[in-house]
Amino acid sequence: MSLGLLILRLLLAALLFGHATQKLRGWFGGGGLVGTGAAFERLGFVPGPRMALVAGLAELVGLASVATGLLTPAGCAVVIGTMTVAAVSTSVNGFWAQRGGCEVPFWYGATAAVLGFTGPGAWSLDAALGLDEWSHYAQGPAALAVGLLASAVPLVGRARVLRDRAAAQGTDGP
């Protein structure tokens, strides 16, 4: 089981690395801070470049924790929160990714939640440092709750921006 958890952690971390560097550096066809920032602004996250920086850095912190298995519940909470924001933002397009939906961030967040419930496994820094003694029955729900609660901050700000835009245009809000 430890090998499977290690592979799962490394795969999630590799995918998050791609997402983070698309935002931060424009790698892998990403827009960098300017292009991603503009996209974030259209979605209601202002100021866009700063929000792209925060999202990219959060993904880097989460992937580092998940990949190494160090402070895994905290890293999972960061990934859950970041991916919840992304999933909510894209859910207007439905679920499937080919239509711009929330499939990818949903899956990354769900994978982080699973890791929060299972723990990182024996091949992790948490295990090497004796930090895996915490009850997974407490860690998983805590990671999920903290991630979901943290996602409320940018989502509430986004809702306010979208409501103000709609009011300025004389239309109904989101």
Question: What is the number of other CB atoms lying within 10 angstroms of the CB of residue 170?
Answer: 6
What are the tokens at 170? Answer: 């004389």
Collect all residues with Cβ–Cβ distance below 8 Å to 161 and sequence separation of at least 6. 44, 45, 46
Q: Read off the pTM.
A: 0.93
**Cα 172 from chain centroid (whole Å):** 29
Interval 59-66 mean pLDDT:
98
> Is the pLDDT assigned to residue 171 strictly greater than 80?
no
DSSP one-letter string for 2-13: HHHHHHHHHHHH
Can you give the pLDDT at residue 170?
82
Sign, CA torsion 10/13/18/24: negative
> Is the pLDDT assigned to residue 153 strictly greater than 70?
yes
Question: Which secondary structure element, helix H or strand E, spans residue 39, and what is its range?
Answer: helix 32-43
Interval 79-98 mean pLDDT:
96
- pLDDT category of residue 172 using cuts at 50, 70 and 90: low
Domain spans, the chain: 2-162
> Is the pLDDT assigned to residue 17 strictly greater than 70?
yes
Closest CA to 75 of 66, 85, 84, 88: 66
Can you give the pLDDT at residue 136?
65
> Is the pLDDT assigned to residue 3 strictly greater than 70?
yes
% pLDDT > 90, the chain: 90
d(CA 49, CA 32): 9
